[in-house]
Every structure is written in structure tokens, then in C-alpha cells.
Amino acid sequence: MSFLERVDQTIRRSPVFRSIFRNPYPNDERSRAYAVMNNVFLHLHPVRVRQHAVKFAYTFCLGGLSFFLFLVLTVTGVYLMFFYAPSATQAYSDILQIQSQVPFGLLTRNIHRWAAHLMVFFVFLHMMRVFYHGAYKPPREFNWVVGVVLLFLTLFLSFTGYLLPWDQIAYWAITIGSNMAGYAPLFNTPSKTLLLAGLEVSGNTLLRFYVLHIMVFPLVAAVFLAVHFWRIRKDGGISGPL
Amino acid sequence: MTDQKAPPEHRVVLPVDPARRTEIDKQRVPMSARPYRLLALVKQDAVVRVQKEPDDTVMTWPHLLSIEFLAAVFMSVFLLFMGLFVNAPLEELANPNVTPEVAKAPWYFLGLQELLAYFHPTVAGALVPLFVLVGAAMIPFVDRENIRANRPSDRKTAVVLFSLFCGLGLVLTFLGIFFRGPGYAFTLPWVSGFHFSL
Ligand code: HEM
């Protein structure tokens, strides 16, 4: 036995390792079933899936990748939060600090930005793939509605995040975007004050968008994602085959 | 172990259409297609399997999980390279008194901003987005014809309408991204360049 093999064996036989992973590496059908069932993260999946559903060309992994991007955004976002204060006087200089002083700050900000755009894009694509497969038809009507809520949440997660750098792009994009809310008949002023915490984009808006961005929308999205995934299984797994 | 029992399957599982058989299928010979079994040589594990109905499923581990893992790896590598080589935009400090030459909404709202150039603000800014969201949520309850058809060729009306709608959104967004410049006036990107930041 080579040195590495011995190390590997020692680790696998140690009480600590065996307290974490109860079963040996899954090689047969039975242990593979346990591997999925007994793991809190994997048990989101059923033990077996219909074989057309695992083909890349059926889902193009779009829903899964949207979720993966959501996770990436959570991790990078938490890191950015350590170095960012949502005030009109500090936000912009914090971003400059993140880019120049914070270890991996620039990289983290870049990844957070690109992952955010990509997530919006992938959620759109996922919705299209679901439509073209007629996967919103019974019994999946409700999961489609949950999906529409998720689309709305994704858009507003991105939109609220867009303001946070507090630079000219952010300020004016949000001004234009939220002017649209002000065009709602009858309740234009209330809907604008609700969104912006004032009649125009200000430090109050920044705080409001920050809280929505880092707390409210992610939590609500997590709840809807849980329902979305739960319903996929309760509706009999992925739709199809075509 | 008692809680691990799979619930009884009520779904009728049809064998896979021969034209659509994959490698995975070929390994899973349906019992009915096998004229004999060498009972003496079957292993313990295989005897258990004999009692199962033939079906068109595969194990989540490794068939699904490996694909998910690969997709996540590719996405991570892509994001890493994007993050290393393309910087997120950042301009000067926000200044409410200085309207920049080009002021555009984020790209996913640019279609609406483009509509603003043609229609009354109430239409473009409030009624259209409301219609889109509510309309999208209502699709499953409106499209009740051919309720079982899921092939695009069996539901041409739905597919054509949806594609037209997506195409319209795409065109509006493209116009907003590439063909609008200072003051949101119409420009040609090959004449006056791009006025857009992500
Ligand atoms: C944050 C956004 C979303 C995430 C993370 C997400 C995730 C997923 C995942 C992982 C699946 C499994 C199949 C697949 O990957 O395609 C799925 C299926 C599904 N999604 Fe989403 N989704 C999102 C948004 C949406 C939207 C916007 C819609 C539609 C309006 C939608 C409707 C559906 C439906 C109906 C299914 C079942 C599809 C089938 O059975 O073939 N989802 N979603």
C-alpha cells in the first residue's frame, strides 16, 4: 500500500470520518440510494430520476444553474457585506476600498456582478425552456406561478443591488427604473415613496434597497425556492419526455 | 431503515420508445425482453432487483449528481475567468445634480424604457409590466386546450404566441441597448459607438 493509500484508509476508518459519513463509498444500487436519502443536501432529489430528465438537452441545467448562481451570489455577497456600509457618504468609497484594499475584493465584486446578470439571464432562459416543454400544464400549474414569483424576485434582487455602488450608473439607472413605478395611475406617489423612501433617489433609498437586497428578497426567494423544488417532486418529477 | 421504503408507485411506466434509447437504457434490459435468467448465477443484489418492475429511471447518484457537479464546475470556472479579466463597471460618485449624457435602466428593464419612447408613461411604465407579470402567471390557466399536449408541434398557437412575445421583448431590449445614445435619442452603434454598461 502506498503512503497516500494508507493516509486515505486511516482517514476513512477514523471515528470522526465515520461519524460524518455513515456508509462506505456508494458503489451499488442500495448504497447509492442511501447516499442520496441520508444526505440533507442531496435528499432534495429523489433516489431515482426518470432517465430523459437527466439528459442535458432536456433542461440544459438552466434551473439548476440559476440556483447555483443564487448560491454563488449569497457567498460573494456575504463577503462584500463585511466591507460595505449603506450610507450615501460611505458607500462609494467603500466600493473603492473593496476594489483596492480588500483581499480578493475586486474579484469578489466582479464575480458578484457577473453572476447577478447571468442569473437574471438564466432565469429567463429557464422560463422559456419550461414553456416550450409545456411543463406548466397540469399538475405543474402552481409551480409555474411560483416560478413567476421567483422571476420577479430575481429581477428585484438585481435591481436593488444595482444601486448599492452609489455611482452615476447606479444612481441614474435606478432613477429611471423607479420613475416607471411613478407612472402607475392613481397610486403613483404612494408607490414611489414606498419604493424610494422619498420622492427621489436619496440616502434613504440606499438604505431601503440595501435591506431589501441583503435580507428581505434573499429570504423570500429562499422560501419560494424551497417551495419550487418541493413541488417539482410532488408534481411527479420533471415533466416529459416530449 | 423502515422510513426508507419508497412509496408505492401508482404511475404507469411505459418502456422507453426504442427510437429514444440511450446508453443508460441499453444497460437496463426490461424483464419482459429477457427470455431466460441464469438463476444459479445471479448475485444477491440482482435477486433483489428481480422483484422490481422494469422502469425508465436511473439512479440519482451518479447519473444526475455527476451532471449537476459538472455544470457547477464549468460555471465556477467561467465566473472565475470573468471575474479575473472583466471588471465590473464603476463610474464617479453619484451626483443628483448632474444627469449623465446616457441614462439607461438595467438591461432587463430596457424593453420598458424603450416602450416609454413610444407610449404614454402609464402604458409603458405601469400597465405593460403589470400585464406581463400577471399574464405570465395566468398562462397555465388560460392555455387549457390540448391539455396533455407537450410537444411544441402539437400546440402551435401557444408556441407561436409565446415566441412572438419573447421576440418582441428581445427586439425592444436590443434597440434599447445598442441603438439609443445620449438623451435616449436614436443612434447607430457603428456610427456613434456603444452607450451601455452592465
Ligand atoms: C430563481 C429562479 C428559479 C430557479 C432557481 C429555478 C429552479 C428550477 C429547477 C432546478 C428546476 C428543475 C428542472 C430544471 O432545471 O429545469 C425547475 C423546474 C421548473 N421551474 Fe424553475 N426555477 C426558477 C424560476 C422559474 C421561473 C421564472 C419559472 C416560470 C415562470 C419556473 C417554472 C418551473 C417549472 C414549471 C418547473 C418544472 C419543469 C418540468 O417539470 O419540466 N421556474 N426550476
User: In 3-state terms, what secondary structure has residue B170?
Assistant: helix
pLDDT given for residue A156 in this prediction: 94
Residue entry with cell 416529459: A240
In a 3-state reduction of DSSP, which class is residue A6?
A: helix
Taking the centre of ligand 1 as the mean of its atom positions, its distance from the CA of residue A64, in whole angstroms, is 8
Does position B32 have pLDDT exceeding 80, yes or no? no
- Decide if A239 contacts A133 (C-beta within 8 A): yes
Nearest chain B residue to A53 by CA distance is: B64
- Number of other CB atoms surrounding residue A193 within 10 Å: 14
pLDDT per position as a tens digit, A138-181: 999 999 999 999 999 999 999 999 999 999 999 999 998 888 77
> Which chain B residue lies closest to A173 (C-alpha atoms)?
B105
Q: Which domains does chain A have, with CATH numbers?
A: 1-48 (no CATH), 54-234 (1.20.810.10)
Domain limits, chain B: 57-88, 107-192
User: pTM for this structure?
Assistant: 0.86
CB pairs under 8 A between A and B: 231
Residue % of chain A over a pLDDT of 70: 98
To the nearest whole angstrom, how far is the Cα of A80 from the nearest Cα of chain B? Answer: 14
A238 CA to middle of ligand 1, Å? Answer: 10
Nearest CA to ligand 1 atom 1: A150
B190 or B40, greater pLDDT = B190
Please give the pLDDT value at position B1.
42
Closest approach atom of ligand 1 to CA A154: 1
Q: How many CA atoms lie within 13 A of B171 on its CB side?
A: 7
